[in-house]
Chains A and B, each alone.
Chain A
Amino acid sequence: MIPAIIRTGFTGLRRDRGALILSFILPVAFFSIFAMVFGEQRGNRTPSIGVLIVDEDRSATSQRLVDALKRESALNALTHPEQKKGAPVPSDYTSASAENAVKEGVAPAALIIPKGFGANPIAFGPGGSHPVFQLLHDSSDPVAPQIIAGLLQKVVMTSMGDLMADAGAKEFEAIAGGLTPQQRQALDSNLAQIHRYTQRGDTAPSASASGSVGGMVNVQERDVVGEKKTNPMISFEAAGIGVMFLLFTASAAGGTLLDEAENGTLDRVLSSRVSMTSLLAGKLTYCILLAFGELSVMFLWAWAVFHLDLFGHLAGFMVMGLSTAFAVASFGMLLASVAGTRAQQAGISTLLILTMSAIGGSMFPRFLMPEMMRKIGLLTFNAWAIDGFTKVFWRDEPVVNLMPQVAVLLGSGMVLFFIARRFAKRWEYD
């Protein structure tokens, strides 16, 4: 009895492609994506964090710090914008241009080395007149400033050991009330040796050193993007989760085509005065309105409950919302027209939507992903939609700046709809 039940179950499963995909392919696909995002298949390295460096001190010591920061493997430290082909090397970042670059999302943070750092670089204990570093950051990435602050302490400690020893000796001398001649001679000799080691780079930063040492340099953090916003991540979450569910909605709405094909309603509709193109266009418009309505409800909820400034960004929301709705609706149409049965369509859409959402940033932010994954993520609607909504609600950028995102969403939507129309030919006549 029991073997017969088991055999029946497996036979049914073997013939249900949708269930097969969900059972075996989806878990493997997800495992691979998460392994690539968090494990990075080769090297097992944490992705480097972009930071813009502004050297206001312009001393030999500050230059040593800049060089050491550039050598730090966990950081991608830039002192000037990327050089374009054939163009001269751009001038170094200033505190103002670096702040603008952070606001535009070029990097999650900018570190400003203050004037006077070379003359008085290290601070032991509280107080004193040591210059304060500025760490300007975008709080949509809450992780980056913490890591950069920690790595700054580490770099100072490991690459500028001689300065730390000098400062320590001065501190000790001030507290102890002076050294004997023998102590002075021994200290000078040791300090000279530390200077030589440091110059030779024997104490170059190591990746295994802890980044949790604090207090060698004073750092003051400032959120330059979200400082006036009450809930920094809410627009990101609304867009990310919204797009993922929009894809599911569009897929289900498109799937009604398959339901209608299977129960004969499509035949009846197509035997009337409705053409295939009119039918698809009608379904597409329905999907767009449904998706836009769903997105509007989500953002209205975010406005009412989480204080998202929806009405201050209404134009941007409309542009991004309609573009996103069009793209996901076309995606839904394509899935329906390609799939053979409703069950197959359900299986394929679940696989595709969860994969797109994982690599496109709906499940976790793309800035946490390795560079390669970030680039792959650009193949998804999720990434472009989230980037667009982030521009609108987080960076307060004007509508005209949404051009790349809108162009990609509308362009790909049109291509998908065109392909869907081609596949839908199979329903026109037997």
Chain B
Amino acid sequence: MTNPQTLPPLQVDRVVKRFGSLTAVAGVSFALGDGECFGLLGPNGAGKSTLIRSVAGRVRPDLGSISIFGAPALSVTARAALGWIPQDLALYPLLTCRENLYAFGQYQGLRGKALRDAIQWCLDWATLADRSDEPVKNLSGGMKRRLNMAAGLIHRPRVVLMDEPTAGVDPQSRNRIFEMIEVLLSEGMSVLYTTHYMEEAERLCDRIAIMDHGWFIALGTKEELVRGAFGGRNDVIMRFSQNGKDASAWAVSRGGTFESETARFAVDEPSQIAPLLEAAGREGLELIDVVLRRPNLESVFLQLTGRELRE
């Protein structure tokens, strides 16, 4: 008999989902480790939400299998172990924070003291204890987002699906949400996190899958992804004055690209900036500033797909 402790919190195996002629998920496989935060990064329409809804049991894949600690995704055992924080604010707007948590707790089978304790934990975790009796419709956008997250965790699941939990919130609230997620991760919860904000994935995720057109086009840690796409190279970005001499021909002749008065070069070592600066001076170009930048996930996505992440 298999020991449940050795089974992965989430196992997705060759999942395919089609809607008519559109293939939303085209054969994706991965496993989520204990206490791991796994990021799904991709533009709108990449298939992230379909994949996450398949794990949540709201979409039936055409092919493949999904299991939570070895149990099929639609089973009662899987549902008990799984929490889902949907992209929409899936709350009852006329009910208070406490009443919403009470309802969703009951839907998850909680009763009595266990339910009361769970509600209090959620209110504390989401820092909403002082607004617990406020109807949801009166809360700020950030508070609604936090309550939306808390409602998905009321039954203290071991695996949590977070579908763009920071969509539409201000930077301060977003930071608060990151801290909340980091608390969960420190407690050993496994998280599958979708976003199209690169900086979120970079901050929270242990591993990242870049998804496009239903496929994982890359998978690994941030460092692995950057190294895989760019090796050890860095970007040198040189911005020129609009009123000076045209630098485009010069940039291309030096193996770079030029767009919007900005030249980009890939260099293996930072010391290679100096020859570039000297050459530009000899050419009589009017330089405004120079930046040396390590490629990030956005650069990786651009490199792999030829498109911006948020297109």
Chain A contacts to B: CB under 8 angstroms = 263-265, 267-274, 429-430
Contact = CB atoms under 8 A, between A and B. Distances in A.
A351 B203 CA distance: 54
Interface size class of B (residues with CB under 8 A): 20 to 34
Contacts of A271: 56-58, 79, 82, 84
Nearest to A274: B107
Interface string B83-119: 0101111111000000000001001110000000000
A263 B88 contact: yes
Contacts of A273: 76, 79-80, 107-109
Contact of B90 (A265, A274, A430): A265
B53 interface: yes
Contacts of A274: 107
Contacts, number: 53
A430 B49 CA distance: 12
Contacts of A270: 58
B158 interface: no
B90 A264 contact: yes
A62 B80 CA distance: 85
A267 B161 CA distance: 14
Nearest to B87: A264
Given A265-B92, A268-B84, A269-B107, 13 more contacts: A263-B88, A264-B88, A264-B90, A265-B90, A268-B86, A271-B56, A271-B82, A271-B84, A272-B79, A272-B107, A272-B108, A429-B59, A429-B60
Given A272-B104, A430-B59, A265 B79 contact: no
Interface in B145-188: 151-152
Interface in B238-292: none
B89 A263 contact: yes
A429 B62 CA distance: 12
27 contacts: A263-B88, A264-B87, A264-B90, A265-B90, A265-B91, A267-B90, A268-B84, A268-B86, A268-B90, A268-B104, A268-B151, A268-B152, A270-B58, A271-B56, A271-B57, A271-B58, A271-B82, A272-B107, A273-B76, A273-B79, A273-B80, A273-B107, A273-B109, A274-B107, A429-B57, A429-B59, A430-B59
Interface of B: 19, 50, 53, 56-60, 76, 79-80, 82, 84, 86-92, 104, 107-109, 151-152
Which 3 pairs across A and B sit closest by C-beta, in order of nearness? A264-B88, A264-B90, A272-B107
A430 B58 contact: yes
A268 B80 CA distance: 13
A268 B19 CA distance: 21
Contacts of A263: 88-90
Contacts of B152: 268
Contact of A429 (B50, B58, B104, B107): B58
Contacts of B89: 263-264
Contacts of A429: 57-60
Contacts of A272: 79, 104, 107-108
A271 B104 CA distance: 11
A368 B53 CA distance: 57
B14 to A, nearest CB: 19
B156 to A, nearest CB: 13
A263 B19 CA distance: 21
Contacts of B50: 430
